[in-house]
């Protein structure tokens, strides 16, 4: 087995390397003066089972091109099997046509990865389950919920806990986490805008009074929804609100917005590198989770049993 990484998330790749006790394959991933990407694999990979670790977070296009070129370089170096390990799958939110004459970019990216020469894909908390069907190669979708559940159990009493979905679309994800926490009760934030130009009205479905609330989502981008939901929960009588999200995109002023919000803490995984001066934001590592999945793929044993 060989593990190689691009420039998008070197610390996570090093965590995976330490877990597997396998050194990262020596490679040069650099840019020419005109910003073209050049990749040179500096070890023999002929006949090897190679895992390429690369999140496609910002700068999304640069990181995606690095991934494609690394896969092509490995294919031309006669690697036996190439698995694209994409902790955060960029363009995942463009998984359908929201209107006429719009792209399904998540499918286009899947085609690019497949055409480049990947034999398998491993990702974490894909934004939509149907993205697995966009690939014509085997795809494993890991879940951050087990890592989050362990952290929640270590920090909270389950007796007074309430799991909250920040919108109706995230109910399945919230229910899955609640099940891992001894079937903790579930609440939903129903967000709606009554008419154009008016602020959003947030209705809480469920009794959160006196509860320690855990907001759960897969992606936090601007953090506006999470911060507004936290305010609405506290107004409804919640004692405290903490948010757990798998992918910390945190674009624009998201870090400052979280710092100024009524959230006690935002907990994210290291599928995307942590921002500088994170303030209220704390990191959980998914290195061991990805490392164990990589080991099982290489050994051709069950990956789904990781979540039993």
Q: Is 223 annotated as a binding residue?
A: yes
Q: Is 58 annotated as a binding residue?
A: no
Phi and psi based region of residue 85 (left: phi greater than 0; alpha: psi -120 to 50; beta: remaining): beta
Q: Is 35 annotated as a binding residue?
A: yes
Phi and psi based region of residue 161 (left: phi greater than 0; alpha: psi -120 to 50; beta: remaining): beta
Which residues on adjacent β-strands are paired with residue 265? 242
Active site residue 97: no
Q: Is 247 annotated as a binding residue?
A: no
Q: Is 167 annotated as a binding residue?
A: yes
**Residue matched to tokens 């164990």:** 292
Which long-range CB contacts under 8 A does 177-186 form with residues at least 24 apart?
177/145, 177/148, 177/149, 177/214, 177/216, 177/244, 180/145, 180/146, 180/149, 181/149, 181/152, 181/153, 182/158, 184/158, 185/161, 185/211, 186/162
Q: Is 217 annotated as a binding residue?
A: yes
Q: Is 34 annotated as a binding residue?
A: yes
Give the DSSP letter of residue 101. T
Q: Is 49 annotated as a binding residue?
A: no
Q: Is 30 annotated as a binding residue?
A: no
Q: Is 222 annotated as a binding residue?
A: yes
d(CA 256, CA 245): 17
Whole-angstrom Cα Rg for the chain = 20
- The residue annotated as part of the active site, out of 191, 239, 280, 283, is 191
Q: Is 15 annotated as a binding residue?
A: no
User: Hey, which residues are catalytic here?
Assistant: 191
Q: Residues within the annotated binding site?
A: 34-36, 93-94, 127, 167, 193, 217, 221-225
Q: Which residues are annotated as a binding site for ATP?
A: 34-36, 93-94
The binding site for D-ribose 5-phosphate consists of: 193, 217, 221-225
Q: Which residues are annotated as a binding site for Mg(2+)?
A: 127, 167
């Amino acid at each position: 087995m060989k593990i190689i990484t691009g420039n998008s998330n070197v610390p996570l790749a090093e965590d995976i390397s330490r877990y597997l006790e396998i050194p990262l394959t020596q490679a040069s991933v650099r840019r020419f003066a005109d910003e073209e990407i050049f990749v040179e694999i500096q070890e023999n990979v002929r006949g090897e089972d190679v895992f390429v670790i690369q999140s496609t977070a910002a700068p999304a296009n640069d990181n995606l091109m690095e991934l494609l070129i690394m896969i092509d370089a490995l294919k031309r170096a006669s690697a036996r099997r190439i698995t694209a390990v994409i902790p955060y799958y960029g363009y995942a939110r463009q998984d359908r046509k929201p209107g006429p004459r719009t792209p399904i970019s998540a499918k286009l990216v899947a085609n690019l990865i497949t055409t480049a020469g990947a034999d398998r894909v491993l990702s974490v908390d894909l934004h939509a389950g149907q993205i697995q069907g966009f690939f014509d190669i085997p795809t494993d979708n890991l879940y951050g919920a087990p890592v989050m559940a362990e952290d929640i159990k270590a920090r909270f009493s389950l007796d007074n806990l309430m799991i909250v979905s920040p919108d109706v679309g995230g109910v399945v994800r919230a229910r899955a986490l609640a099940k891992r926490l001894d079937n903790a009760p579930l609440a939903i934030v129903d967000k709606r805008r009554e008419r154009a130009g008016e602020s959003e009205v947030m209705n809480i479905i469920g009794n959160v009074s006196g509860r320690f609330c855990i907001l759960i989502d897969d992606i936090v981008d601007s953090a506006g929804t999470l911060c507004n939901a936290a305010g609405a929960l506290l107004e409804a009588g919640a004692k405290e609100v903490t948010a757990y999200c798998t992918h910390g995109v945190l674009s624009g002023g998201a870090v400052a917005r979280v710092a100024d919000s009524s959230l006690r803490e935002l907990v994210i995984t290291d599928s995307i590198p942590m921002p500088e001066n994170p303030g209220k934001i704390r990191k959980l590592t998914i290195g061991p989770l990805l490392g164990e999945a990589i080991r099982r793929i290489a050994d051709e044993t069950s990956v789904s049993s990781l979540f039993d």
